[in-house]
Each structure stands twice: as structure tokens, then as C-alpha cells.
Structure 1
Amino acid sequence: MNAQSSTLSKPAAIAVVSLIFFTWGGLTSLNDVLIPHLKAVFSMNYTQTMLIQFTFFGAYFLMSMPAGALVARVGYKAGIVMGLVVAAVGAALFYPAARMPSYPVFLTALFVLASGITLLQVAANPYISLLGRPETSHSRLNLAQALNSLGTTVFPLLIGPLILVGAVLGADEIAAMGAAEQMAYRAAEARSVEMPYLMLSGALLLLAVFVLLMRIPSLRDATEAGPAVYHTYLEALRQPHLRWGVLGIFCYVGAEVAIGSFLINYMAEPSIGGLSEAEASRFLAFYWGGAMVGRFIGAALMTRIDARRLLGFAGAMVCVLLVTTMTTTGSVAMWSALAIGLFNSIMFPTIFTTAIERLGTLTSKASSLLVMAIVGGAVIPLAQGALADRIGIQLAFVVPLVCYVYIIWYGLRGSRLHGSTPVGGSAVVSRSGAMH
């Protein structure tokens, strides 16, 4: 039909949507820069500071189902545009939060920003999988996820130093100031986030207008709905490999986010790197960049090595690196922590795909449960923060260590399939993608 000729080609549409993957990856990784910055501004302990990740990833848990219902009503393209606008509003709220300055308003801004990103996830992941033949959907998702990882690498490198532009003072130095000096210092430090996040807000709005005006294909996918929704979630959870996979996603995302959240403060420790927060933010590129490089290496290795064994091996390597990080000092401890990103790379997609394997018509419900398990990014960093306040930041890495021990077990045992036929009918290709 003529309408088809008026739309962009599918490769061009894939490029547009992949740009959105890049953007939300970068926005998510900026939390790792905000954590040491706001910790200093408000003189908080680690438990209080980790409310940043708790708020951000808690939005995934609370908003995933409402976002899915909205996308089912308005369609993929409109859902993407709305997600970009909501994220832009969240980024703009950083301005009043910095002007006050108010930690609760910062958390509110983060929740709105994360709600927009959740809507983007729900709309963009299935949309990009529909832009072409079903048998090549995994390659399109992998391309988009690689660009997502590029965003997590580039944003802290370019925008991080803008946020951490001033010299961050310690709690003792701030306490030595007079009340007026403290207020002036905190106000100046808080305002360093104004311009970066206003720029990001403007960029998100421009991207929303761009997507709205672009004639990308208007695709639809069959959407499950109806009174059996609670029944099918429970039915999906009766499958052991999915049940353990949901816990695997919870542990993995929580551990990955927790490590990234503490890296800047960890590298600033005199016994580890002795770096300023601004210098340390540049080293985040090695952590997130390693995940991007490892994704390509892992994809090649999986053509020869069983994915479950590779997952177990990657988990074991991370455990070795974490033990090294916890028991050494200096550059060895620092680079051991940064190298974890390389082995993290294959974990999310491997856990996700093994968990939904052979679930047939339950696949969409299983995918929703796995996306909701991203709430681990809210819980695990908070637990590590509470422990860091008691035993120190270095030994607190035992929290993600426990998570990776579970991932080893899941890769080698928990992901094993039971039976030989798909559950509930013929196999269904997953329409849900990964966050990382």
C-alpha cells in the first residue's frame, strides 16, 4: 500500500529506536555519578545515599504493569514518545531540586525520570523486535543492547565531570564550617547538576519530537489481556527454571547496580585509588565499557560454548575479582573491581533467555516477571549501603559476592529444563528485551 512507502525503512526505524536505547542507558549510568555527589552535598551515610537507586529501580517494579497497559492502549510509537516526555520532565525537576536544595525532591525527580525510562523499556523493546523477521529479532535486540552499553560508557565520561566539577569536601571539613558557609557550599555543589540535567531534558524533548515526526512503521503485536492474568503469572512461576531465573535477574541487576554505585567512592578511598570524585567518574567507563566489549566476546563464545556453562564461568570469575577487591589495596583492588564489568556482560541476556526457554504461551508472562525482578537494583544496593556504614565500603562487597555465588548455581544447576515439550503450546519468541 502507499502508506507503507510513506514510512521510514525498517533499518532506519531500527536506528531511531537504537538511539533511544543509547539514551536511557546513559541516563541510568549517571546515577553512579549522582551518588557520591549528593552524598557530599547532604552529608549522608551510605544507607541514605542508596535511596537514589532504591527510588530509581523501585519505579521499574511499580510502573512496569501500568506502563504495559498504557502501551497496549496507545501503541508502541506513542508509548515511546510519552516515555521520552516523562523522562524529560523528570530531568527538568532536577533544577528545582538543586535550587532548594532538597534530597526528597531529588528522589522525586529520579522516580519520574525512571518512570519515563520504564515506559521506554516496555514500548521500545518489543517494538524493535517486530522491525523485521522473527528469526533475526535476537540480533536486533543485541545491537540495541550494545548501544545501550555504549550509553552507559559515554555518559559518565562526558557528563560526570560536569556534575563533579567542584572539590568534594569531607564530613569533617564541612562540619568545621559555619552554618552560613555550609549552606553556601551545599547550594553551590547542588547547582552543579542543574545545567547537565536541563540539557538532558531538552535533548529528551527534542528526541520525542523527532520520533513523533518520523514516519516509523506503525506496528502492532498481539497483547495478552483478560481475567486469567493472575492465573498465568502463577502458572509461569510453577516452572522451576523460570522461578530460579526471576531470582537470578533480581540478584544480577542488584549486584551490578550496587558495584557501579559504590565505585566512585571506592576509588576515592586513600588505600585504593586516592582519586578525586571527578577523576574516579572517568574510570567508570572501564566498568561499563567492559560490559559492552564483553557482550560481543560472549556472543562469539556462545557459538561454541554452552550458554549455561559460560554463565557459571563468568559468575566464578566475578567472585574471584570481588574477593581480590575485598582483600587487597591500591591499583590491584581498584582494577579488580573495574574488571567485573567485562564478565557481567553476558549475564542479563543469558539469564533472561534461559529462564523463558520452552515456556510456550507463558513466555510473555514470564518476560513480565523477569522485568519486574529488575527491582533487585533497588534492594541490593540499599543492603550494601547499610553494611558499608557498619563494616566499611570494601568489606561490604560481600553483598554482591553472595549474589554472584547464586548466579553460578543458577547457570550450572538452576537453569536446567524439566521435560521436553513447550509449556502451554508452541514456543513463542520473547518480545521483551534487556535493560543492560
Structure 2
Amino acid sequence: MSKDKKLFAVGLITSLFFVWGFALNLNPILIPHLKKACQLTDLQSSLVDSASYIGYFVMAIPAGLFMKRFGYKGGIIVGLTLCALGAFLFYPAASVRSYAFFLTALFIIACGLAFLETAANPYMTALGDPESAAFRLNFAQSFNGLAATVAPYVGGLFILSETNLTAAQESSMAPSQLSAYLNKEASAVQIPFLIIGAVVLLLAIILYKTSLPEIADDEEAAVTSQAETSSKTKNLVLGVIAQFFYVGAQVCVSSFFIRFAGKVAGIPQKPASIFLAIALAGFMSGRFIGTFLMKYIRPAKLLAIYCVINVFLVILAVMLHGKLAVYALMGVEFFMSIMFPTIFSLSIRGLGAKTKLGSSLVIMAIVGGAVFPPLLGFVSDKTNIQVAYLVPAVCFLFVLYFALTNLRVKEKVDMSVAH
């Protein structure tokens, strides 16, 4: 595989990280928007996130099996096609103002994202020296962080309206007038998602016509002893569990941030959202800085350091009061930045022919984002929001355990990978 082909492939695949980061981070905009347009309760509107996480969970294994037969490129094209289809379905969903239709469209988009993540993450690790796999993956994931910062702003600009009627105002309107208002609100998603679908479909066509280097199973495989195989399998299992805990922690920290800022520091929702935006910008910059640091610090070691810092910051957020507690929580976003890609690359390291299946298992672990937030909410209801933040602290402790187990493993260069 020539160096130029690898560089081109790295650039093209990196763009995919921005695509799914943008799509997934529109959910915070869709939740309040669809709540208003479809007249939902808070519980009903939360199903926006559920549809996404369930899509990941359901489709990750089929995506891995598909790629085992048809390769990474095939998986990426299928993923982009599903994303485009789901985006296009927003148009008829808005036309009939059906929440179930919206959720179906989101589920299809999530299924496509599961294909993209299951394919692009391991493909990026395979495009070069195994030693620098975590570096490449963190670099690509930096653009995912960029998308996470941009998407809520762009989505809010083109989808959200400034018209927010109270229940009393809605009840005083004539049925036809209320219906016209709700239909107008629902239609706000049509043009943005048509554009998203068109861009994603165009990217799928470009990838279809582009010759990408395929990492074949026989190229990935290495001759290993039974003990080595067992060790790698155990590491994969630990990696899947670590990713489950990490994603749960990430969603907990971000999803309850505005409520935390209001309860602990008395910051109103709109100013609190600005604090969150700054924290997410820190998350994005942390990806780039972490990528740079990995030139000098082993990924497993850096992951362990960041875990210790985050446990300390969360404990500060639990113990302090006022804005200092909020600042501590903002710092957590920065130190979470490298965790997902680093856990991923360490989990699938040295799996050889089992890389695609292993990748799908790690992607399935994203369902942790649907498990831990309700647990945090339950603890908050029984105690308070500050005490509830001990939930992500415990999650980071397991990620620390995973990092420490990988510190004992000397990273080897897999000479079987073609260059």
C-alpha cells in the first residue's frame, strides 16, 4: 500500500468522523424542538436519544459481520446510505407531524452511524503502523469533537424558533390556528435534513467511485500463541466494558450539566448553555492536544492520567459549591476527550482477523449512554444532583482499571500489516 494512498484514505475517512459527530449532536436540538412541534412530555421527548442508542446497539454486530464479508469500504457505503435515507425521511415525518415517524428516521440514521463507526474506527487504526494507531484515531476523532461543537449551534440557528407558546396560550388558540403553528414548527427540520441527506449521499457516491486500500483479514492476522490470543480476547472484553462505562459517564456529564449548573450555582438555563458550549469547545481542543501528547506519552498511560484527573474533578464538583463546582465539571469535558478513541484502539489492538467483529462489540458498548443517565437521575431524585455525579466518577474508575491493565502490555508493531 503506497504512502500517498494511505494519506488520501486517512483524509477521506477522517471526514466521516465529522459526519457522524454532526448527525449525533443534533439530538440536543431535536429534543426541545420535537417536544414543542409534536406536543410531547419530557419522557416522550427523551426517546430521541433512546432511538439513537438502540440503533447503535442493534446494528453494531450486523455491521461487523457485513464488513467481514464485504470489507470496510462496503460497510462505510452502507452506513452513509442509511444515514442519507434517515435524513430524507425527516421530510415526510414533518409533513404528517408524526413523532413515531421521526423516531423511525432517527433509528435508521443511528443504524447508519453504527456502520460508519464500526468501519471507520478500526480502518483508521489499520492505515499505518500499529504503534501510532491511537494517535491516528485521536486525530480523526478530533473532527468528531469539532462537529459536536458546531452541530448544536448550526441546528439551533436553522431549526429552533424563538416562538414558545405556553400551555395556556395553546389552549386559547382555535384548533386550525394551533395546527398551523405546530405544522410550521415541524417543517423547520425539512430543508436542513434534506441538505444533510444530499451531502451524505454525495459522499457515499464519491467513496463508491474511489479506490480505497482494503485491509484484508489475512493481512491483519498474525501468528500468535494460544496464551497471546486469550490475552487479547480478555483485553477486548475489558475494552467493551470500559467503553460501556465511559460512554455512560460522558452522557451523564453533558446531559445533566445545565441542571447541575442551575441547582448548584443558580445559573439560569440560557447562560448555563453557554458554559456547556465552552466545556464542549474544551472537549474538542482536548482531542487535538491529546493527539499531540501521544507523540511523547503512551496512549494507555495518558488515558490513566486523564482518568485520575477526572475522578478528582468530579469529586470537587460534588464537594464544592457555586461556580467553582461548575468549573470543575467543565474541566471533566476536556479530560474525557481522548477516552473513546483511545479505549477503542487499545481494545482491538492485535486482534487480526477478529478486528471487525471486535470493533462491532466495542461500538455496541455505546449503549452505556442509555443506561447510566437514568441511574444518575434516580440517585438525584433520592439525594441531590451533586451526589448523583458520583455515578460518572465510578465509571471513570473502571476506565482507569482498563488503562492500567494495558500499561502492562508492551505495544508491538504488527509486521504483518502491509505498508
> Helix, strand or coil for the counterpart of 1:9?
helix
> CA–CA distance in 1 between the matches of 2:95 and 2:86?
15
Match of 2:240 among 246, 262, 271: 246
Contact 2:53 2:367 in 1 (8 A): yes
> CA–CA distance in 2 between the matches of 1:235 and 1:344?
29
Aligned match of 1:342? 334
> CA–CA distance in 1 between the matches of 2:386 and 2:183?
32
Instruction: Give TM-score scaled by structure 1 length.
Output: 0.77
Aligned match of 1:139? 135
The alignment covers a number of residue pairs equal to 404
Moved more, 117-126 or 198-207: 117-126
Match of 1:408 among 379, 392, 397: 397
Deviations 1:217-251 (A, max 9, x none): 33132079xxxxxxxxx977983x65554333212
Contact 2:318 2:325 in 1 (8 A): no
Aligned match of 1:30? 26
1:119 corresponds to 2:115: yes
> CA–CA distance in 2 between the matches of 1:10 and 1:356?
20
One-letter identity of the residue aligned with 1:312: C
> CA–CA distance in 2 between the matches of 1:177 and 1:386?
37
Pick closer, same or farther for the CA change 1:86–1:168 going to 2, 3 Å.
Answer: same
Contact 1:249 1:374 in 2 (8 A): yes
Pick closer, same or farther for the CA change 1:156–1:264 going to 2, 3 Å.
Answer: farther
Match of 2:288 among 296, 300, 311: 296
One-letter identity of the residue aligned with 1:376: G
> CA–CA distance in 2 between the matches of 1:407 and 1:36?
30
Shift of 1:253: 0.7
> Helix, strand or coil for the counterpart of 2:405?
coil
Q: 1:80-119 counterparts in 2 under 5 A?
A: 80-119=76-115
Q: 1:3-402 counterparts in 2 under 5 A?
A: 9-171=5-167, 173-174=169-170, 177=173, 179-213=175-209, 215-222=210-217, 239=234, 243-263=237-257, 272-276=266-270, 284-299=276-291, 303=296, 306-307=301-302, 309-320=304-315, 322-323=317-318, 328=321, 337-352=329-344, 366-384=358-376, 395-396=384-385, 399=388, 401-402=390-391
Deviations 1:10-40 (A, max 9, x none): 2122211111111111111111221222233
Deviations 1:314-348 (A, max 9, x none): 32244146426xx756x666655544321211322
Moved more, 164-173 or 115-124: 164-173
> CA–CA distance in 1 between the matches of 2:248 and 2:403?
19
Pick closer, same or farther for the CA change 1:280–1:271 going to 2, 3 Å.
Answer: closer
Moved more, 29-38 or 306-315: 306-315
Contact 2:286 2:337 in 1 (8 A): yes
Pick closer, same or farther for the CA change 1:265–1:216 going to 2, 3 Å.
Answer: farther
Q: CA RMSD in A?
A: 4.0
Instruction: Give TM-score scaled by structure 2 length.
Output: 0.80
Deviations 1:408-429 (A, max 9, x none): 2541x4654399789xxx9869
> CA–CA distance in 1 between the matches of 2:44 and 2:351?
40
> CA–CA distance in 1 between the matches of 2:81 and 2:395?
38
> CA–CA distance in 1 between the matches of 2:378 and 2:176?
31
One-letter identity of the residue aligned with 1:58: I
Match of 2:405 among 404, 417, 421: 417
One-letter identity of the residue aligned with 1:138: A
Deviations 1:43-94 (A, max 9, x none): 4343322211111011111101111122222222232222111101111111
Pick closer, same or farther for the CA change 1:384–1:265 going to 2, 3 Å.
Answer: same
Among all aligned residue pairs of Structure 1 and Structure 2, give the percentage whose two residues are the same amino acid.
36
Deviations 1:242-294 (A, max 9, x none): 55543332122123124434556777999844355xx8766654233211212
Pick closer, same or farther for the CA change 1:38–1:25 going to 2, 3 Å.
Answer: same
Pick closer, same or farther for the CA change 1:92–1:362 going to 2, 3 Å.
Answer: closer
Structure 1 unpaired stretches of 5+: 225-233, 432-436
> Helix, strand or coil for the counterpart of 2:365?
helix
Pick closer, same or farther for the CA change 1:259–1:182 going to 2, 3 Å.
Answer: farther
Shift of 1:132: 3.1
> CA–CA distance in 2 between the matches of 1:123 and 1:48?
32
> CA–CA distance in 2 between the matches of 1:336 and 1:45?
32
Contact 2:134 2:346 in 1 (8 A): no
> CA–CA distance in 2 between the matches of 1:316 and 1:59?
30
> CA–CA distance in 2 between the matches of 1:333 and 1:181?
46
Deviations 1:367-423 (A, max 9, x none): 4432211111222345556777x679xx45755531322312541x4654399789x
Indicate the structure with greater helix content. Answer: 2
One-letter identity of the residue aligned with 1:372: M
Structure 2 unpaired stretches of 5+: 220-228
Pick closer, same or farther for the CA change 1:346–1:314 going to 2, 3 Å.
Answer: farther
Deviations 1:161-195 (A, max 9, x none): 21213333455654565544443333222222222
